[in-house]
Chain A
Amino acid sequence: MGVMTDVLDVTGVHHRYGATTALAGVDLRLAPGECVALLGPNGAGKTTVVGLATGLLAVQAGDVRVCGGDPRRAATRRHLGVVQQSMGFPPTETVGELLRGAAVRAGRPAAAASPAMAEAGVSQLRSRRVRKLSGGQQQRVALAMALVGDPDLLLLDEPTVGLDIAARRDFWRAIAARRDAGAAIVLTTHIVEEAAAVADRVVVLHRGRVVAADTPAGLTARLSDRTITARTTLDDVALRALPGVLSVTRDGTRVRVATVEPERVLRDWLARDHELTDLRVEGAGLEQALFALTGEDPGTAGGNADPDTHTDLGTAKLEVPA
């Protein structure tokens, strides 16, 4: 691979499933050692991006390159390591057999299975049938399979769903070691805190477009002081009609309005509702930032983000959670 080649280069990609537009002009580039989190509600296009980068889907418009090559070609996919949310392991295979198979498929000697199993912490499970293992153990086996080919690009599609905190920490520790060794990482997740903690960059997808791409801290900073909450007599339709309003949600008697122009919104809002009370303009955590951008709550979209514990990304460090 050439020194200057991006590990992943997605340029101007459009993708449709029949009449449904999944991606409407997406660009994404990763250099070696970068970790990018793809965030967004279900249907935002995250899975389509992963499908294109892994060669599962044929590019319809635009260009997708992995280490300079076409991921539809088997030889290009030697650069890839993929962890899926659900691996569907065959019931008759042991962990060791799966890893030796994965090594050979990736163009490595079967003996490469041993260090990969050690790295993912599954060496002691090598003679067990993989389907008899717990969900967390199976996901570590999936990680070992992704690492065994020594990939330049790791694609992790919701990799920690169903894992407990300790298992998640071990998972990200192994990933961080690979990143430090030069591997680029793309992860999709619903867990906003996780994205903030492990990613160098967060790319927010919404309705097939990149609506924001920044460091977790930068993304939060750009959207700080831009969530307005209040008690109001106006209904949602009237609120959405106010210029500058991105989204409206209710939380009991309070309404929450996301905007990038709080002054303008407040001027109009106060003019229309003289009984407005309990007004608060809040700084946004990444989760609120995401919510403001997409108008959809990532915590309700199948993830397990706790809505009461927003990480303040102004201070978030790009480290693996301890």
Chain B
Amino acid sequence: MTAAIGTRPPAHGLRILRVEVAEGLRAIVREPTALFFSVLFPVGFYALFTTIFGGQQGFVAGLPYAATNLATFGAFGVVSVMLMNPGTAVAEDRTRGWLRVKKVSAVPIGTTIAAKVIAALPYAVAVMLAFSAVSLLVAGPVLEFGSWTRLMVALLVGSLPFALLSLAVGFVLSAGASAAVLNAVLLPMAVASGLWFPLEMMPPFVQNLAPLLPTYHLSRLALAQLTGADAGVHVVALLISTAVAAALAGWAYRNLRV
């Protein structure tokens, strides 16, 4: 045979992950309109909320509303892009046939899924940078750089299970149906977790429901980065969500209808 003799360096899995992620990043850089419009909706919504309620005092003791809102609304921002984007993208790949090309290649299932999750992170980064810019413009600096960085890291890492859930839906449904289903999951979950309005304003049954939702735990984890509260239970809840979503995504990919 003519091609070079195959070697299998120990970092083979990482090399595959790198080319898969690079493909996803090139798609964003070369056709940035998808990213722009995905980010536009949550950012516009956030700008509206902050402008209207910007002067109010926060509900978490001692912190200005602008700061806590960056945490809770930020949770909505990252979840909205991570839940919507990877799923609709893989659904389109599957319809075109490209996902089948990936699936018959020698790439392990976990690598494909991890790459798709990582390649979605620029969407979450873009949302949070835009939110932070809006917050700075409207309310001025309300966070130390250290707190802001911790908040960013918590929101980005905490958004990963939502990308997995998104993939699970996109592996099963068409692009259009995925978008509809994911939207139908996103909006009620955001409201019932107190991402738009403080939970205290919600009826009691919603307040009781919230701790069952991963979005709630993400927003509490984000808030804890500002208040210093113990976030152990939220980390555990998000880890469980990640495990469940990863299992669903793995199962859906293994049983892909192509």
User: Given A104-B15, A119-B2, A84–B97 Cβ distance below 8 Å?
Assistant: yes
Q: How far is the CA of A182 from the CA of B1 in the complex (A)?
A: 8
Q: Does B258 contact A (CB under 8 A)?
A: yes
Chain A contact-residue range equals 35 or more
Give the CA-CA distance A92 to B34 in the complex, in Å: 13
A→B interface (CB under 8 Å): 51, 54-56, 58, 74-78, 80, 82, 84, 86-93, 97, 100-102, 104-112, 115-116, 119, 145, 147-150, 178, 181-183
Residues of chain B at the chain A interface (Cβ within 8 Å):
1-4, 6-8, 12, 15-16, 18-20, 22-23, 26-27, 30-31, 93, 95-109, 254-256, 258
Closest to B26 in A: A92
Find out whether the CB atom of A112 lies under 8 angstroms from the CB atom of B15: no
Contact in complex: B4, A89 (CB < 8 Å): no
> How many Å lie between the Cα of A106 and that of B103 in the bound state?
12
Shortest B110–chain A CB gap in Å is 9
Interface of A: prevailing SS: loop
Return chain A residues, CB-CB under 8 Å to B96. Answer: 86, 88-89
Asked if A181 meets B98 with Cβ closer than 8 Å, knowing A90-B93, A149-B106, the reply is no
Shortest CB distance B20–A (Å): 8
Q: Which residues on the A side are within 8 Å of B19 (C-beta)?
A: 100-101, 104-105, 110
Chain B at the A interface: SS class: helix
B257 to chain A, nearest CB (A): 9
| Chain B nearest CB, measured from A85 CB (Å) | 8
Q: Are A78 and B3 interface neighbours, CB within 8 A?
A: no
Give the nearest-CB partner of A109 in chain B. B4
Q: Provide the residues of chain B in CB contact with A145, threshold 8 Å.
A: 101
Q: What is the bound-complex CA distance between A261 and B96, given in angstroms?
A: 47
Residues of B within 8 A of A181 (CB): 1-2
Q: Give chain A residues whose Cβ lies under 8 Å from the Cβ of B98.
A: 87-90
**Which 4 residue pairs spanning A and B have beta carbons closest together?**
A88-B96, A88-B97, A88-B98, A150-B3
Q: Answer whether A102 and B93 are a contact pair too, CB < 8 Å, given A93-B23, A183-B1.
A: no
Residues of B within 8 Å of A54, CB to CB, are 104
Evaluate contact between A101 and B23: CB separation under 8 angstroms: yes
Residue of B8, B27, B107, B255 touching A74 (CB-CB under 8 A): B107
Question: How many angstroms from the CA of A111 to the CA of B105 in the assembled complex?
Answer: 18
Contacts A97-B23, A149-B106: A105 and B16 contacting too (C-beta < 8 A)?
yes
